[in-house]
A and B are shown apart, each in its own frame.
Chain A
Amino acid sequence: MREHKRAKMWTTHPYKWGQKYSLWPIHFCTGCGAIEIPPTMLAPYDASRFGMGPMASPRQANLLLLTGYLTRKTLKYVIRTYEQMLTPRYVISFGSCPIDGGLYYTSYNTINHLEWYLPVDVWIAGCMPRPEAFLMGVNRLMEEIENGTADGYKRYEENIDYYRRNQERTLGKKFLEELKQVEWLT
């Protein structure tokens, strides 16, 4: 990152500059990939030089890292957490499991296609992606934010019926009833 290029961006696009260089992931470690997060945050890979710092609550975070496979139970928690985050919010999915099921594609309990339930901005392939791959994915997200194409949250609101249908099919009606507790998307 060239420092002067970053600083110049402040005068032209302060909003994008803020969203880009201050991605705060929520400290929600879902699957096997969670083991790759601590080495990335600390030396020598040091994600904090990109402005990333883990946050405890979805109200404070604007990036959701789905690190690995998702069981049905975890998916319920992830969807609630995603809906409690403040927009604009971004999703990065790690590993092969959210893409097409990965290692567990025949399992009765894990889901195979994350994009049916949540909008994803950046996919990182691998089983598990190394910290370098993680940082490349974060850079890709930053480029998308700058171009204005990181609009997963807008897609979620516009296609909410599609996502709700898929969520009900896999997770049940009771989940949608409970989701009304945090729902603000009409």
Chain B
Amino acid sequence: MTIGLQIAWMISLPVVMILLVAVVFTGISLKVTARIDRRYGPPIYQPVIDLVKLVSLKTNVSHGVIFDWGLLVAIAGSSVALLMIPMGGIHPLSGSGDLLVILYLMIFASVGLGLSAGASENPNASMGVSRKLMLGLGYEVPFILILLAMMTYHHTTSLVALVAAQRATGVLGALRFPLSAVAAILIMPALQGVRPFDFVTAPQEVASGPMVELGGKYLALMVIEQSLHTAVILSLMVDLFFGGATNLGIFILKMTGLFLFGVLVNAVYPRFRVEQALRYCWRWPTWFALGGLIMAMVTKGG
């Protein structure tokens, strides 16, 4: 890829992903959830209307410099992580970071949001962030085991190499690592932050958690950050288990399929309490992921 094309992709890929997840995916999720509830639901482009309203408010409320910049840092971290993930052959920054770097750039999201929420000076926001970090502790245990299984088997930490290995042998990651795939499906809602694991921004329990003081343009920034985070998670899962893709269109189709799974789970299940979520994540998903890791260690030869 020439340098010009790379820079073009660096600018346009996050924009594409934001529009995709914040607008198309959210619209689809609202419509699908409504149809499951046997009602009509808003039009598919409702998220556009919401974003237009949010950025066009006449007043905005801020709680200081840290409040403003925390969200921007979170968005920046998620964007850079997004550019390192191969999406249908496009990965402009993957030479600057491997899977471990992607995993740790996702911490920028939590830390940035934690700073904004802490600057809100509201205990609801603090409770939301503590819940977010505990949820992270919950799903990281099986998630790390899943990633370790793949990295140990293929003897590499580069995501590009993992995708290339799947395409080379023609065997999907989900078929080569069945136990790890089952564990990943079980914790997929936790990674996306949908029910039953949406206690982080629960409106009823903690007055929407970290978002309690975010209004207007800050809420629009939060929507953008959530969409980037969801895009990172979905594309990681597609790359690890479903073989990536050769072009962006098919990649987006695979992301949509995975996203719809999250929507269906979200529409049906109620919300966990925090300790229920932790116990869930540390029980069956961890056992499956552990089994997958042991299988990968035993069968690795390549």
Give every chain B residue within 8 A of A86 (Cβ-Cβ).
57-61, 215-216
Give every chain A residue within 8 A of B59 (Cβ-Cβ).
86-87
Give every chain B residue within 8 A of A59 (Cβ-Cβ).
61, 212-216, 219
Give every chain A residue within 8 A of B215 (Cβ-Cβ).
57, 59-60, 86
Q: Could you list 11 examples of A-B contacts with CB < 8 Å? A: A3-B43, A10-B48, A17-B49, A21-B49, A43-B39, A44-B38, A56-B207, A60-B208, A86-B57, A86-B215, A87-B57
Contact with B along A114-153 (1 / 0, CB 8 A): 0000000000000000000000000000000000000000
- Structural contact, B212 and A15, CB atoms closer than 8 A: no
Give every chain A residue within 8 A of B34 (Cβ-Cβ).
46, 48-49
Chain B contacts with A in 202-260, Cβ cutoff 8 A: 203-204, 207-208, 211-216, 219
The verdict on A6 contacting chain B, using a C-beta distance below 8 Å, is yes
- Structural contact, B39 and A46, CB atoms closer than 8 A: yes
- The one of B37, B49, B214 that contacts A22, using a Cβ cutoff of 8 Å: B49
- The one of A6, A15, A19, A43 that contacts B43, using a Cβ cutoff of 8 Å: A6
Name the distance in Å between A58's Cβ and chain B's nearest Cβ.
8
A43 to B213, CA, bound (A): 30
B-side interface residues, number (CB < 8 Å): 34
Tally inter-chain residue pairs, CB-CB below 8 A. 94
- Structural contact, B39 and A60, CB atoms closer than 8 A: no
A7 to B52, CA, bound (A): 13
Chain A contacts with B in 7-39, Cβ cutoff 8 A: 7, 10, 14-15, 17-19, 21-22, 27
A18 to B219, CA, bound (A): 15
Instruction: List 14 additional A-B contacts (Cβ < 8 Å) besides A14-B52, A56-B203.
Output: A15-B52, A21-B49, A22-B52, A27-B203, A46-B41, A48-B30, A49-B41, A49-B43, A51-B50, A59-B219, A60-B211, A60-B214, A86-B58, A86-B216
The verdict on B130 contacting chain A, using a C-beta distance below 8 Å, is no
The verdict on B53 contacting chain A, using a C-beta distance below 8 Å, is yes
- Structural contact, A17 and B57, CB atoms closer than 8 A: no
A43 to B41, CA, bound (A): 9
Give every chain A residue within 8 A of B40 (Cβ-Cβ).
46, 49
Chain B contacts with A in 188-208, Cβ cutoff 8 A: 203-204, 207-208
Interface size class of A (residues with CB under 8 A): 20 to 34
Give every chain B residue within 8 A of A55 (Cβ-Cβ).
203, 208
Contact with A along B144-177 (1 / 0, CB 8 A): 0000000000000000000000000000000000
Give every chain A residue within 8 A of B45 (Cβ-Cβ).
7
- Structural contact, A48 and B41, CB atoms closer than 8 A: yes
A62 to B211, CA, bound (A): 15
The verdict on A54 contacting chain B, using a C-beta distance below 8 Å, is yes
- Structural contact, B46 and A57, CB atoms closer than 8 A: no
Residue of B at shortest CB range from A56? B203
Give every chain A residue within 8 A of B213 (Cβ-Cβ).
57, 59
Residue of A at shortest CB range from B50? A22
Give every chain B residue within 8 A of A17 (Cβ-Cβ).
49, 52
A17 to B52, CA, bound (A): 8
Name the distance in Å between A184's Cβ and chain B's nearest Cβ.
9
- Structural contact, B53 and A57, CB atoms closer than 8 A: no
Residue of B at shortest CB range from A153? B58
Give every chain A residue within 8 A of B30 (Cβ-Cβ).
48
The verdict on B276 contacting chain A, using a C-beta distance below 8 Å, is no
Give every chain B residue within 8 A of A44 (Cβ-Cβ).
38-39
- Structural contact, B58 and A87, CB atoms closer than 8 A: yes
A44 to B41, CA, bound (A): 10
Contact with B along A54-83 (1 / 0, CB 8 A): 111101101000000000000000000000
- Structural contact, B212 and A57, CB atoms closer than 8 A: yes
Name the distance in Å between A53's Cβ and chain B's nearest Cβ.
8
A14 to B55, CA, bound (A): 11
Name the distance in Å between B5's Cβ and chain A's nearest Cβ.
32
Give every chain B residue within 8 A of A18 (Cβ-Cβ).
49-50, 52-54, 56
The verdict on A88 contacting chain B, using a C-beta distance below 8 Å, is yes
Give every chain A residue within 8 A of B270 (Cβ-Cβ).
none
A61 to B203, CA, bound (A): 12
A100 to B54, CA, bound (A): 35
Q: Which of A15, A19, A57, A88 neighbours the largest number of chain B CB atoms within 10 Å of its CB?
A: A57
